[in-house]
Structure 1
Amino acid sequence: MDSAIQAIEFLARSEHRVAALEALSEEPRDRRDLRDATGASDPTIGRVIRDLEDRSWLAREGARYELTPLGAYVTDRFFELREGMRTGERLREVWRWLPREMEGFAVEHYEDAVVAYPGPNYPYAPVERVTHLLESTASIRGLGTTLYKSGNLDVFCRRVIEGMETEYVYSPPVLRAIVDWNPELTARALGCDNCTVFLHDALPDDSRCGLNVMDDCIGICGHDPETAQLEAVIDTRSPEAREWAEDVYARCRSEARQFDVGELAPDASRSPEGRLRVEPR
């Protein structure tokens, strides 16, 4: 086995070694401090100290122990790996909806992401997350390629009518489905002075996900590639993710055309076959 993998295994199979490095990365500690920080017994913490000293990661200065420069380097890299693996586990169930065409997307900006997707016993997590996000923001900008459920659209329209500052770049089929769902309510909402709507015929990742920029976070809404129905929500407060989302939105908005509210009238002559539809709940 590669020696680097062996070193990772050496740490990963001992929670006390990891806890000791975590404590020592904050400040030097004496033996009692390390025992308290790790929850290890005195004999165990003795073995941990010897193990770390044998690898030149730890040195004693008087009664206290501190990381060597090598130990600080190894600790930083190990914790970076741990955070990367945590992010991987967090996003594992929603990987298929992560952007691929939105330039600049980086997984590492989603270490603190909140992920909502239908579980085996409760399918409504994405719907409830969208409602929470809509109720928690005073403004929203987005790329509208995802069809929300009817309950989410009710909340969206109500929030717009209540004054939520709204600017959206829609895929035409998605906007048409929303208008068909409730022509009167959508005309009222999208006709508000605080709501500006654009259309774009080729939004990036339009078969995979949409994007929202809200007051305190940004959100990715994953959807079914055929029906555009909401499948998952991934949102984060990461400043780096926000900067990325702002750039993506600005580029798409600059390419979009203004939407005329007069186009909201439903067209009865169009065939319903192959048309996107809003689903209940």
Structure 2
Amino acid sequence: MGTAFDDLAFLAGSENRPAVLLAVTERPHTRDELEAETGASRVTLGRILADLTDRGWIRRRGRQYEVTGLGRLVANAYKTFFETMETVAQLKPLAPWLPVEDFGFDIDRLEDASVTVPTHSDPLAPYRRAAHTQRQASSLTVLTNATAPQNIEVIWRRTTAGDLTIDAILTHDVIDTIQNDEQMASMFRDILASGQAEIRRYNGEIPFIVAVADDLVDIAIADEGGLPRGLIQVVDEEVRSWAEQTIARYREQSMELSVESFTG
């Protein structure tokens, strides 16, 4: 029945073909159920069912169509491939700035990640998404080379209310910026005075922003000029382990700050 490429081209050539195969892989379907579920016309569906049957991927049993062992193998492989391509599509806008060489995990661990990118109407979308996460979390560990007033305000409100504990490592440039802004400096004095936070200064370069908020890992991507290009968020044990180890490595080389560190 042709080559493996022919079979792949057959599936990829129509949204309805894999939809039908995946549907009957989940459970047997009648023709009417498949028509309703996929939205394919009766003529199109009839042709797809005939083609899938000819390939030995499905069979008819009474009024229902069910997957064969071979068809299940094809369906599972296609589903994995499709999910991978969805991940590629999500990450594609960030490709020029993704520090893949710094990731201590396989990129396919981001398969279930959500990606937030800035838009013309909302250039600060990644910061807003991070702030949303910070409003929901009970603990936050962060390594950062940048900061934003809206994120600091969320952290200030939640730590002073006793709702959030934070362990943060900031570059010397970020600390200097905060110290030279009285409003932000005042917030950091309150944050440290709350007893809910530990703030540390790292006297070197940090290549990217990474945070662990409860079980969620945030990886913020910026361009060469420091402009935000996207926020990757994922719940994955391997990615979390990498994030925690990365933060711990910088933590060992950082200096803990006190309330007085933010007093002019």
Alignment TM class, shorter chain as reference? 0.7 to 0.9
Q: When the two structures are superposed, what TM-score results if normalisation uses the length of structure 2?
A: 0.84
Q: Classify 1:58/1:141 alpha carbon distance in 2 versus 1 (closer, same or farther; 3 Å).
A: same
Q: In structure 2, how many angstroms separate the alpha carbons of the residues matched to 1:93 and 1:198?
A: 32
**Which residue identity does 2:170 align to in structure 1?**
Y
Per-residue CA deviation, residues 37-58 of structure 1 (Å, 9 max, x unaligned), is 3233333222111111222212
Kept after mapping to 1: 8 A contact 2:186/2:262: no
**2:247 aligned residue:** 249
Identity of aligned residues (%): 31
2:256 to 254, 259, 266: 259
Give the secondary structure class of the aligned counterpart of 1:233: strand
**2:115 aligned residue:** 115
Computed over aligned residues only, the root mean square deviation of the Cα atoms, in angstroms, reads 2.6
**Which residue identity does 1:40 align to in structure 2?**
A
Q: Classify 1:191/1:230 alpha carbon distance in 2 versus 1 (closer, same or farther; 3 Å).
A: farther
**1:198 aligned residue:** 200
Q: In structure 1, how many angstroms separate the alpha carbons of the residues matched to 2:180 and 2:230?
A: 23
Q: In structure 2, how many angstroms separate the alpha carbons of the residues matched to 1:97 and 1:159?
A: 32
Tell me the CA shift for residue 9 of structure 1: 2.2
Q: In structure 1, how many angstroms separate the alpha carbons of the residues matched to 2:173 and 2:229?
A: 18
Q: In structure 2, how many angstroms separate the alpha carbons of the residues matched to 1:84 and 1:60?
A: 31
- Counterpart mapping for 1:1-281 below 5 A: 3-145=3-145, 147-163=146-162, 164-182=164-182, 183-202=185-204, 206-207=206-207, 209-226=208-225, 228-253=226-251, 255-261=252-258, 262-265=260-263
Q: In structure 1, how many angstroms separate the alpha carbons of the residues matched to 2:171 and 2:90?
A: 29
Q: Classify 1:184/1:38 alpha carbon distance in 2 versus 1 (closer, same or farther; 3 Å).
A: closer
Gaps spanning 5+ residues in structure 2: where? none
**1:272 aligned residue:** none
**Which residue identity does 1:188 align to in structure 2?**
D
Give the secondary structure class of the aligned counterpart of 1:153: helix
Tell me the CA shift for residue 76 of structure 1: 1.0
Q: In structure 2, how many angstroms separate the alpha carbons of the residues matched to 1:167 and 1:115?
A: 24
**Which residue identity does 2:219 align to in structure 1?**
I
Kept after mapping to 2: 8 A contact 1:157/1:186: yes
Aligned positions, number? 259
**Which residue identity does 1:184 align to in structure 2?**
S
Tell me the CA shift for residue 75 of structure 1: 1.1
Tell me the CA shift for residue 224 of structure 1: 4.0
Q: In structure 2, how many angstroms separate the alpha carbons of the residues matched to 1:213 and 1:193?
A: 20
